[in-house]
Structure 1
Amino acid sequence: MSEAKRLHPVSILFDLIFSVRQFILPIIIGFFSFRNDSLVYYLLALAGLLLLYFVIAIIVWYRFTYRVVDDELRIEHGVFVRKKRHISKNRIQSIDLTSGIIHRIFHLTKVEIETAGTGMEAEASLSAVKRAEGEALRRELKSGDTGAAVNDELDNETSEQPERPHSAISPKRLFIAATTSGSVGVIIVFALTGFSQFEQFIPEETFKSTFNWAIGLGLVIIITLAVLFLLLLWLLGIAGTIIKYGKFTITRNEQELFITRGLLEKKQITIPLRRIQAIGIQETIIRQPLGYVTVFAEIAGGSMDRGEDFSSILFPIMKEEEVNDFLAVFLPEYAGVDYDLRPLPKRARKFYMLRASWPFLLLIAAVGWLFLKFIWIPVVLLVIGGIGLGWLRHRDGGFKVTGKRVTIRYRGLLSRNTVLMYHKRIQAYEKKQHKLQKWQNLATANFSIIGTMGAGTHFTVKDLAVSDTHVLSDWYSRQRTRTDN
């Protein structure tokens, strides 16, 4: 592939869509701001800008070329200033293929190349190439590796490679994952954010009349509408999860894991085993009573645009008792998860409850000052959300050292996380202690590993007994000494 090649012409459309998306909010505001004759001039100006962006996109596409020469990928781009980027095969960590709706219509794919030094974005991105050409480019850049062959099997293409360990999500499990994902909260946040952006453009009279109309409906009707609205958001969350994780399949090669997922946008993600820093088991507050968990991996390096919320989901949902069998097949060194951890001391419970309760205490003070008759609402929230959450966090916290591996467990806002780390992956161990902890003979343990973009990812267990932090400190120092020797 020494001959310079250009991207597929469809990439011009992608560049144009990206440019328009950056200014979508001002464009929408313009439609509300201009009226009558001024709207015509606004539309003409908008059409002129779109034409200008289209011409620029054509020039950018024509000036972008790529080729593979002397074991490196060479990319040349730039309109006025010509830029050249050389990426050696030896530096390439992973090559991911993504096919959105438009890609699949034209049998194209997007190629994203990541190296050890990848930052906010992929080291190199080819927005639109022929599917076969993308596969050929991956084989060329990963020559001597059987990764491409495994992905060819996932695409139902002929391959002479032996069958490798793989697992796929069933429709039943996918539906359970969608209905218990808790993504409705994220949708509500986005909806409120969007409303706050457009609220300033709603006429005050319209806003007041709508508010008075809603009040006049009565409490029962308002509650019914609120329930229907939440149900709609829940259904949207279900659809989003099914679209994102539909046809999820994970396959293991000798040195890599390959993940394929997505109904509308098909993604193929490559995870080199050497870049896995920790394995996590997450139980949301909804899934935990049902016995379902999500298995994820913390990956060193990589970019923020992998779409996995800074971690890579190894399997969206499975039964807790299935985790060890799953790890034994795909990551045998992490198999043998032991959930019988050393618990936190009972004297630490009050600190967990206090930390979880202080936002509700502030809310009680505010409501008591402004709306005294409704003070029972934040009090109930304090009991359920503050004291209850603090009790759960204390009960779930703990750790266990097994040979060269440490297992820690903590609860975030709504999810309980069990994380397995090997000593060689831990970059630093830190013990912290404030005055109140010192008074109660407690301390906080913090483990740091390499995370996304090469930055640190930290796992913390608060309010351990000081003797337990000494155990962890001795383990970390002893293992490091053995490694140095």
Structure 2
Amino acid sequence: MTDVAHASHRLHPMSWLFALLQQLRQFVVPLVAAFFFGGDRNELWPLIGIGVLALVSVWRYFTYRYGFSDEALIVRSGVLERSVRVIPFARIHNVALQQSLLHRMFGVAEVRLESAGGQKPEAEMRVLKLADALALETLVRRRGVHAGPATQAPATAAPLLTLPPGEVIRLGMISNRGLIVVGAAIGGLSQYSPRMLPNLLERWGQWLLGWASQNGMQGSVHVAVAGISLALVAIVLLRLFSILLALLQYHGFILSESGRRLTVERGLLARWRTSASRRRIQAWTLRENVMHRLLGRRSLDIDTAVAEQHNQQRALRELAPVATPAACDSLIEHLLPHSAWPRLEWRPQPRNAWWRLALPGLPIALLLMALAAWGLGWWGLLALLWLPWSGYVARRHVRAAGYAVNDELVAVREGWWSRHWRFAELDKLQALQLTRNPLDRRCGTATLWLDTAGAGTTSPPLRIRFLPDAEARALCEQLSRTLAQHPLRW
């Protein structure tokens, strides 16, 4: 290792500005409240507070250093209390680069280095010159735990998946991200003027009433037209907002591979770039809802060994936000070449387990029937139609469910309207749990839970439900022997 490699590096000269903006974001509300609602408008303490924050940010620039040894990244920081943090390259699971619009104007980026299970980044550099940030990402990639002369990553990354604008628009039509915008807008309008939203609805109703009377519509027909029109407007607005958010977040999406490291870059105004080693992938989820099927698309997500509790965006999670089924299968086959995907031999779930799925909805159906009968009389008995419908849905769920196990992975498929395939490599399983509740003991069934590291909060569980007890125990013993023979791979 040369002296240059060991040299200390500073943050970008403008890093103090971004650190100041980050701190002001946390204190802007109390500062503004104190300035406008304080007893004495001539008080200068809010300005003094901003000045102190600016001095701290400038001092952070002068006291923050980072450098490299043969096996670790070394970070020196602190204002009054100095600290030296040594982060082995082998412990860095994820490198995330983030650029807001302001970052892009200055040609800089924020860098976060993450390890498995950490509640916060191992190192957070706000900010570096973009070229230095990319060089740091390359250095981490090449000095990982398995990096060596024969396995160093190539200089260029090979793209595995790109999303043209048409695919991003399809993603917006599939997702429900517009609910976030609509919910925020409703909350903001309610705070600004509590009567604004009711007034808008009243005006809408008056306009529809005038239009309906001109066209000879009265009574229930008018009500039906009003309800249908409002529903259509709401659906169109939600989809338009979802498409807008998808374009902002996923424009220019590129999934690339460099050596054994995957990198995702995306974003229209703000850009995110995050990468993780393939060996850090703990579990996979292939999703397909009704809109996916109408557009002939699926989504492929992964769980990595990086905690995601505080910032979902900084972890590498979406390998294919939207893609054709063939593209998703090809991507899985490329990244898991020995998994035999999609040629797995699926074992069906026992067909008589359908009533187990329908059972939890039975009390709700009976309660709704009682309420409907109390309010509508004999017409309320029509709520009993929910029982055969729930039984039909349960049968469809059981018919679609199944599991597959081979020498490389274990996979589970579930769902009907919204389907998912959840699978993991056997070397990534941490623990097995066989559970039997009183109903299972009565029916002679069991559920096998399979635990991996880093499962996301939005990921479906990896479990095999309602298996005959003997089959569940045999499968648990088979997987236990496999786990005992193979070390856990992080």
| TM norm structure 2 | 0.78
Aligned to 1:169: 163
Distance 2:384 2:10 in 1: 62
Does residue 333 in structure 1 map to residue 332 in structure 2? no
Distance 2:63 2:478 in 1: 56
Does residue 409 in structure 1 map to residue 437 in structure 2? no
Deviations 1:295-338 (A, max 9, x none): 12221235445635977111122222333322233332335224
Query: Number of residues paired by the alignment?
Result: 461
Aligned to 1:131: 130
Distance 1:424 1:236 in 2: 41
Alpha-carbon distance, 1:97 to partner: 2.2
Does residue 421 in structure 1 map to residue 420 in structure 2? no
Does residue 473 in structure 1 map to residue 456 in structure 2? no
Alpha-carbon distance, 1:388 to partner: 6.5
Deviations 1:394-433 (A, max 9, x none): 3332112223422111239x63211222222111222212
Given that residues 281 and 302 in structure 2 are in contact (C-alpha distance below 8 angstroms), is that contact kept between their aligned partners in structure 1? yes
Counterpart residue type for residue 179 of structure 1 = M
| 1:13-52 to 2 correspondences below 5 Å | 13-22=17-26, 34=37, 41=41, 49-52=49-52
Does residue 181 in structure 1 map to residue 180 in structure 2? no
Aligned to 1:286, the other structure's residue is in SS state helix
| 1:303-322 to 2 correspondences below 5 Å | 303-304=308-309, 307=312, 312-322=317-327
Q: 1:65 to 1:361 in 2, by over 3 A?
A: farther
Given that residues 445 and 461 in structure 1 are in contact (C-alpha distance below 8 angstroms), is that contact kept between their aligned partners in structure 2? yes
Distance 2:258 2:418 in 1: 31
Q: 1:325 to 1:21 in 2, by over 3 A?
A: same
Counterpart residue type for residue 246 of structure 2 = T
Distance 2:196 2:180 in 1: 28
Alpha-carbon distance, 1:14 to partner: 2.9
Q: 1:316 to 1:247 in 2, by over 3 A?
A: same
Distance 1:380 1:30 in 2: 59
Aligned to 2:285: 280
Distance 2:228 2:43 in 1: 42
Deviations 1:442-478 (A, max 9, x none): 3222111111599x99412332333432342132134
Given that residues 244 and 262 in structure 1 are in contact (C-alpha distance below 8 angstroms), is that contact kept between their aligned partners in structure 2? yes
Distance 1:271 1:390 in 2: 39
**Runs of 5+ unmatched residues, structure 1:** 155-163
Does residue 400 in structure 1 map to residue 399 in structure 2? no
Distance 1:233 1:384 in 2: 32
Deviations 1:216-260 (A, max 9, x none): 776555764554344223211111112222222222233222222
Q: 1:229 to 1:322 in 2, by over 3 A?
A: closer
Q: 1:470 to 1:70 in 2, by over 3 A?
A: closer
Counterpart residue type for residue 275 of structure 1 = R
Distance 1:434 1:175 in 2: 45
Aligned to 1:432: 435
Q: 1:348 to 1:306 in 2, by over 3 A?
A: same
Which piece of structure 1 moves more, 422-431 or 354-363? 354-363
Q: 1:55 to 1:457 in 2, by over 3 A?
A: farther
Alpha-carbon distance, 1:94 to partner: 3.3
Q: 1:222 to 1:271 in 2, by over 3 A?
A: same
Aligned to 1:113, the other structure's residue is in SS state strand
Aligned to 1:300: 305
Given that residues 95 and 276 in structure 2 are in contact (C-alpha distance below 8 angstroms), is that contact kept between their aligned partners in structure 1? no
Over alpha carbons, which structure has the higher Rg? 2
Distance 1:294 1:228 in 2: 27
Aligned to 2:107: 107
Alpha-carbon distance, 1:89 to partner: 2.7
Aligned to 1:333, the other structure's residue is in SS state coil
Given that residues 165 and 329 in structure 1 are in contact (C-alpha distance below 8 angstroms), is that contact kept between their aligned partners in structure 2? no
Which piece of structure 1 moves more, 238-247 or 472-481? 472-481
| TM norm structure 1 | 0.78
Counterpart residue type for residue 483 of structure 2 = R
Q: 1:42 to 1:326 in 2, by over 3 A?
A: farther
Q: 1:227 to 1:211 in 2, by over 3 A?
A: closer
Given that residues 451 and 462 in structure 2 are in contact (C-alpha distance below 8 angstroms), is that contact kept between their aligned partners in structure 1? yes
